[in-house]
Amino acid sequence: MTFLTEAAIDAARLAAMVAGPGRGAQVSFVGTVRNHQAGRQVRELHYTAYGPMAEAQCVAIVAEAENRWPVSVALQHRVGTLTIGDAAVVVVVTGDHREEAFAACRFVIEEVKHRVPIWKRERYADGTEAWVDPTAALDPAETGSP
């Protein structure tokens, strides 16, 4: 499987790849492009990746999850220009039970954000652009936290 794609991600295809008769739980994470970031209106964004290293890191993350929990994992991340509402990353995890499926899904998306060399450049409604650090803590206003 190729983890990086310029095409729209087919979440149903990913789910079918990890489905099975013994898998009673399926957990998915779909990260979509939102229309705001840190109080600014986002028009679109562009993902760039160091392909060979990104693919290798994705292989490692999936293997780590599948070794740590009795699950199957499908993962795909977009590169290129995306618009509001586009799926940027999809993780689908199946397991016999929900506990391991939830834990593995969270592990995979968090590790992708921290380890995979994918960079995001946001384009704002005012015509400016900025690189975004995916490992930076979010502004409390963005999370709804006090």
The domains located in the chain, with CATH, are 4-126 (3.90.1170.40)
Stretches where the chain sits below pLDDT 70 are 134-146
Residue 28: other Cβ atoms inside 10 A: 15
Secondary structure letter of residue 86 according to DSSP = -
> What is the pLDDT, as a whole number, of residue 99?
97
51 Cβ contact partners less than 8 Å away, ≥ 6 residues apart: 4
Q: Which residues of 67-105 are buried (b: 16+ CB within 10 A; e: fewer)?
A: eebebbbbbbbbbeebeeebbbbbbbbbbeeeebbbbbb
> What is the pLDDT, as a whole number, of residue 134?
67
- CA distances 55 to 60, 64, 77, 143, 144, Å, are 9, 14, 10, 30, 33
3-state SS, residue 61: helix
φ, ψ (nearest 5 deg) of residue 70: -80, 75
Secondary structure letter of residue 127 according to DSSP = S
> What is the pLDDT, as a whole number, of residue 137?
56
Show the tokens assigned to 115. 């380890």
pTM of the model: 0.90
